[in-house]
């Protein structure tokens, strides 16, 4: 028998006859998470002059401290359910429902009607939760698939309804689904070859400004080659949308536009990941993970609803912030709010061309 191990090795390989046996320590540095957005090393190097990406703990060491800190804050807030727990009544209501039995779910929901004294935000979140758990009850009781579904079936059954209910309860976004082209990329696509033309599985438009706010991709039930392809597609389309919007506000503040975010959601297996693209400097975009959550499909997975609600409540908060940014940009572009000429988007672009 042969062995391969160093004193500080994280793994041990034993070879006996024609077979090998691999052993790992409990404290081994974890591998990349499954069912999460991913970029391979070769693509990451090629994109280095265009993007700073922070979508896992192993991102390039060249990532600035502030971007890495943002990522770490996002991970810690996700761990503690920071945003969701601020909605105490909704948090308590969800866990009251989850601690009971499936057959009692409707009885708990009947007691969850909104109260006159509650804020509009609380009423929206309770309504959203009622929609969500009613659909979940149906998912838990429906028959299993008779034949193996294609990758779009679970996405249509478990993911699309979540965002339909999000739209109905908040009125922040309007969605279109299933192989749709992005209007902001439409003119560009005319000049591209067939292989460069890509459609999206979902697009969410801001109800106030009528432009894209979130791009969505379903990478299927298996974390495979589509994962990397779809991550690149979301990076491409979100940055193109921001580029298009940047051109619409030449007299607005470059500093203000630094607060603008374009969102992406990638669905892989039963996991959703919320990401954000923003301008980092004159020549680079920033692509960062915000939240990640498992979408419960059966009653045994019900406690994952806490992380799903954390993702959705955070998403709502960021969308409301973007509405505020839109208002400021329009005031600046129209001349209503003064902007230092050297800080205008047009002036910054001119500096880059010199």
Look-up of token digits 């419960």: 296
Distance, CA of 219 to CA of 214 (rounded, Å) = 16
Residue 345's pLDDT is 95
Whether the pLDDT of residue 294 is over 70: the answer is yes
Structure tokens at 297: 């499909």
Residues composing the chain: 354
Residue 148 has pLDDT above 90, yes or no: no
Q: What is the mean pLDDT of residues 73-101?
A: 95
What is the 8-class DSSP label of residue 343? G
Global pTM reads 0.90
Residues 6+ apart with CB under 8 A from 95: 306
pLDDT of residue 205: 96
Q: Return the structure tokens found at 147.
A: 């034949």
Measured distance CA(263)–CA(82) in Å, rounded: 20
CA–CA gap between residue 56 and residue 53 (Å, rounded):
9
Asked whether the predicted pLDDT for residue 347 surpasses 80, the reply is yes
What pLDDT does 102 receive? 95
**For the segment 16-33, what is each residue's pLDDT rounded down to a tens digit?**
888 999 888 886 565 567
Residue 1 has pLDDT above 70, yes or no: no
Token pair 């491409």 is found at 236
> pLDDT by residue (tens digit) across 40-51?
989 999 999 999
Using pLDDT thresholds of 50, 70 and 90, give the confidence band for residue 60. Answer: low
Three-state secondary structure of 145-168: CCCCCCCHHHHHHHHHHHHHHHHH
pLDDT band at 274 (very low <50, low <70, confident <90, very high): very high
Distance between CA atoms of residues 174 and 280, nearest Å: 28
Phi, psi of 336 (to 5 degrees): -65, -40
Using 50, 70 and 90 to split pLDDT, how confident is the model at 56? confident
Enumerate the domain spans of the chain: 41-353
Q: What number of other Cβ atoms are within 10 A of residue 303's Cβ? A: 13
* Integer Cα distance of 129 and 90 in angstroms: 8
The angle subtended at Cα 185 by Cα 183 and Cα 187, nearest 5°, is 90
pLDDT in tens, 103-113: 999 998 887 77
Q: Mean per-residue pLDDT for 135-153?
A: 89
């Amino acid at each position: 028998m042969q062995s391969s191990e160093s004193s500080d090795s994280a793994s041990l390989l034993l070879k006996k006859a024609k077979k090998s046996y691999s052993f790992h320590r409990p404290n081994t540095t974890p591998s990349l998470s499954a069912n999460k957005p991913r970029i391979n090393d070769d693509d990451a190097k090629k994109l280095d002059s265009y993007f700073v990406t922070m979508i896992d703990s192993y991102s390039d060491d060249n990532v600035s401290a502030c971007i890495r800190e943002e990522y770490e804050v996002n991970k810690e807030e996700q761990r503690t359910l920071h945003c969701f727990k601020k909605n105490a009544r909704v948090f308590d209501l969800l866990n009251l429902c989850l601690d009971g039995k499936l057959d009692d779910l409707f009885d708990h929901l009947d007691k969850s009607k909104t109260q006159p004294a509650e804020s509009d935000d609380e009423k929206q979140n309770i309504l959203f939760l009622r929609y969500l758990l009613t659909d979940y009850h149906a998912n838990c009781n429906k028959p299993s698939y008779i034949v193996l579904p294609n990758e779009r079936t679970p996405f249509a059954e478990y993911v699309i309804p979540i965002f339909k209910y999000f739209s109905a309860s908040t009125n922040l976004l309007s969605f279109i689904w299933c192989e749709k082209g992005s209007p902001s990329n439409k003119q560009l696509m005319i000049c591209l070859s067939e292989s460069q033309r890509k459609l999206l599985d979902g697009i969410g438009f801001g109800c106030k400004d009528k432009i894209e706010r979130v791009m969505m991709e379903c990478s299927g039930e298996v974390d495979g080659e589509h994962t990397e392809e779809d991550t690149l597609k979301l990076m491409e389309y979100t940055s193109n949308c921001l580029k298009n919007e940047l051109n619409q506000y030449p007299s607005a503040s470059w500093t203000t536009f630094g607060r603008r975010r374009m969102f992406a959601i990638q669905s892989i297996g039963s996991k959703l990941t919320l990401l954000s693209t923003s301008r980092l400097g004159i020549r680079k975009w920033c692509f960062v993970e915000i939240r990640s959550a498992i979408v419960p499909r059966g009653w045994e997975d019900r406690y994952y609803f806490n992380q799903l609600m954390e993702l959705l409540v955070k998403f709502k908060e960021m969308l409301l912030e973007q509405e505020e940014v839109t208002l400021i940009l329009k005031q600046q572009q129209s001349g209503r709010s003064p902007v230092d000429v050297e800080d205008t988007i047009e002036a910054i672009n001119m500096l880059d061309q010199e």
